[in-house]
Amino acid sequence: MQIHVSKALATDLKPLLVEAPTDLRQMQWYGHRVQVLRRKCVILMELQSRYAMVFAGLTKPDFLRFPELVRDRLWREMVSICALDDAESQRLAALVDVVSQPVQIVAGSDRSVQAHMKEVAWHLEWMANDFGSLPLEGGDAFAFGLRVNQTPRSRKGQKEYFWPIEVMREFWLGMLAHATPRADNVVPFRRPR
């Protein structure tokens, strides 16, 4: 998993920055830091789905363990939005764990993704000003994320709108189905006599 970070976020993640070319075999996320209610907040957005995760009220120790925070939040949210039974949820969590390793944090941005992240930042500021608080706990951050990920989005060159939560759910369910051998596709092994 590669996280391309804006200049603002790069200052907070400086010890974790690496120089690496974009590897399209990995998930591509983009990150930006904003300040809301005088607290540092990070908005991450996945390139293809425009799925957003918000981390509010981060401190210096949080930034030092940022890759772990991202990986932990990612598997929790994917298990939640895919709504599978317990056994399938465990398999999905393991798959997310494999796909999200390692986390490479590199400098860079994408104008289209940045525009969508600005919309999320606007929603975060509006909510914080309206309610007087940020979504600091994991459950509150996920609930906020559900709202912004159920907002229709579009990309340049596409005529139809899409919903980030649906695109992300379909991606992980497809990955899970691809990683699972089908019972009807297994040839029984028979020993020669």
Evaluate whether 103 touches 13 at the Cβ level (below 8 Å). Answer: no
Task: Write the single-letter amino acid at 29.
Answer: W
Instruction: Give one DSSP letter per residue of 13-69, joined into a string.
Output: TGGGB------TTS-EEEEEEEEETTEEEEEEEETTT--EEEEEEE-HHHHHTHHHH
180: confidence class by pLDDT, cuts 50, 70, 90:
low
User: Per residue in 107-138, pLDDT tens?
Assistant: 999 999 999 999 999 999 999 999 999 999 98
Given a cut of 60, is residue 101 above it in pLDDT?
yes
Which residues are CB-neighbours of 185 under 8 A, at least 6 positions away?
Answer: none
Average pLDDT of the residues of the chain: 91
CA 22 to each of CA 25, 66, 106, 128, 188: distance values in angstroms, whole numbers, following the listed order: 9, 20, 9, 34, 42
What's the alpha-carbon Rg for the chain, to the nearest Å?
A: 18
